[in-house]
Structures are given as structure tokens and as C-alpha cells.
Amino acid sequence: MTLPHELSAQIMRKQPTQKRAQLTIDAIFEATSQIVDREGVSGLTTNKIAAKAGFSVGTLYQYFSSKEAIFRAMSEHGRTLVLRELESYLFSIECSQDPEDINPDTFVRQYVQICIQGFALGKNYRRAMNRLCWLLEQPEETAVSVQKMIERLMACLKYLQHPMLPVLDETQMFVLSRSLMGCLRSASLERFEPLDSSAFENQLVDLVMAQLVRNLESV
């Protein structure tokens, strides 16, 4: 389970210490996402989740006390996944590449791809989970996650010192990050299905690159 221990202890009744338990948690998340995606939040019950997941409601209650607890765990799980993937990507860049060899467009594109998969489109049930997380969004928790993303990105840019990847100031980063997240949020909630997924990605890459170029021109 990717939930931080201090939070999962508050949300979950039982910690998934074995692979089988982890698969049970994954099944609960997937079933919840699929039901909400088809029927909405109001029709969701723990009995429906358990039946969809293929086990008894008693098994579900071993881990979660209510559907609200499941929602909270899923939201934290989703945010943690994205932050972990971004951290892994940025760390790999810092460790394995000479800054002079980094292509700015490629760097930004891979960052954007992680954000798209983690917050909007995704694959399989993750897309449904993304939408559910936005439907049940806690603005303050989203703000904290976005701030962590931006702080980590800025730390990477400071480390790289790449001439075409400038470090943005606080105001510039606020506007850019909220613009990016706003597009991802809308794409998820509005079930945006681009005929050409690369076109959506390209637009978001252009959004980020335009801000970086603008900052360079102002220096």
C-alpha cells in the first residue's frame, strides 16, 4: 500500500502487510471507481463495492469502516502515486544525465506525461479513480500536493542549472501549476476523450514551455 503510515493508520483498520492483502485493497479501489463511474457517488454502498470486488462485505470492513474511509484512502493513494512517479523521474534525471545533454522539450514532456496519467486520463481503472478523486476533492489537500510537485521540480531545475530550463519565481510557478492542474482536472471530470491524445499532451507541453521561454526573455 502506498499510503503514508501515519495517514493510513487513521483511515484503515488493517494494514496490508502481505501481497494478498494488497490485492484486496486494489480490488476495493477498482470496484469503487468503476461503480462511481457508472452510477455516481450517491448510489454507492459498501455492499455494492464488496460484491463488485468479489468478496464479502465483512472482508471489506476488515480494512475500511465506511465508504467515506475508502474515498479518503483512494484520494491519498492517487496523490502519492503521482508524487512518487515524479520523484523517481526527476531523481533519475539528476543522477544519470549531464545537464548539458538534456533536451528541454523532452524533459518537460515526460513530466507532463506523468501528470496526465496521474491526474486525468490514465489507463484502465486509474482513469476512473482519477475522476472519483476529483469529484471528492479536498481543495487544501490538492493544494498541498501541487505545492510538493512544484517545490520538487524547482529543486531539480536549480540542481541542473540548464540555460533553457530557468527556475521560476513563486508567482510564475503558482500561475503555471494551477493552469496545468486546471486543465487536467477538467479533462478528468468532463471525461475528455481526445481523438489524438498526443495533441492534448502537446498543448500542455506548449503551456509549460511558453512560461519558461517567457521567463528567459524577461531576464
What sign does the dihedral 198-186-77-96 (CA atoms) show? positive
Q: Per-residue pLDDT for 33 more than 80?
A: yes
Residues 6 or more apart from 178 whose CB is under 8 A from it? 146
Identify which of 36, 28, 30 has the alpha carbon closest to the alpha carbon of residue 189.
36
pLDDT, position 219: 54
- Report how far residue 48's alpha carbon sits from residue 37's, in angstroms, rounded to the nearest whole number: 13
DSSP state of 40: -
Checking if the pLDDT of 100 tops 90, the result is: no
What is the CATH T-level fold of the domain 5-61, as seen in this structure?
Answer: Arc Repressor Mutant, subunit A (1.10.10)
User: CA 26 to CA 31: how far, in whole Å?
Assistant: 9
Q: Is the pLDDT reported for residue 136 higher than 80?
A: no
Domain boundaries, given as residue ranges, for the chain: 5-61, 74-218
Query: pLDDT tens digits, residue range 159-212?
Result: 988 888 888 888 988 999 999 999 999 998 998 887 777 889 999 999 999 888
Average pLDDT (144-153) is 88
- Per-residue pLDDT at 140: 83
8 A C-beta contact, residue 189 and residue 137: no
pLDDT at 9: 47
Q: What is the pLDDT, as a whole number, of residue 11?
A: 52
Domains 5-61 and 74-218 share a fold: no
Mean pLDDT (whole number) for 36-54: 86
The domain defined by 74-218 carries CATH number 3.30.465:
no
Mean pLDDT taken over the chain: 83
Per-state percent for the chain, helix, strand, coil, to nearest 5: 75, 0, 25
**pLDDT band with cut points at 50, 70 and 90 for residue 5:** very low
The residue type at 149: M
Residue 218 scores a pLDDT above 80: no
Q: What is the largest CA-CA distance in the chain?
A: 62
Contacts of residue 29, defined as CB under 8 A and 6 or more positions apart, other chains included, come to: 70, 73, 74, 77, 125, 129
Is 60 exceeded by the pLDDT of residue 12?
Answer: no
Q: Residue 180's closest CA among 204, 162, 197, 210?
A: 204
Q: Which residue has the higher pLDDT, 206 or 138?
A: 206
Amino acid 68: pLDDT: 85
pLDDT band for 15, please (50, 70, 90 cuts).
low
* Number of neighbours of residue 7 by Cβ within 10 angstroms: 14
CA–CA distance, 7 with 25 (Å, rounded to integer): 15
Q: How confident is the model at residue 14 (pLDDT cuts 50, 70, 90)?
A: low
Beta strands in the chain (DSSP E): none
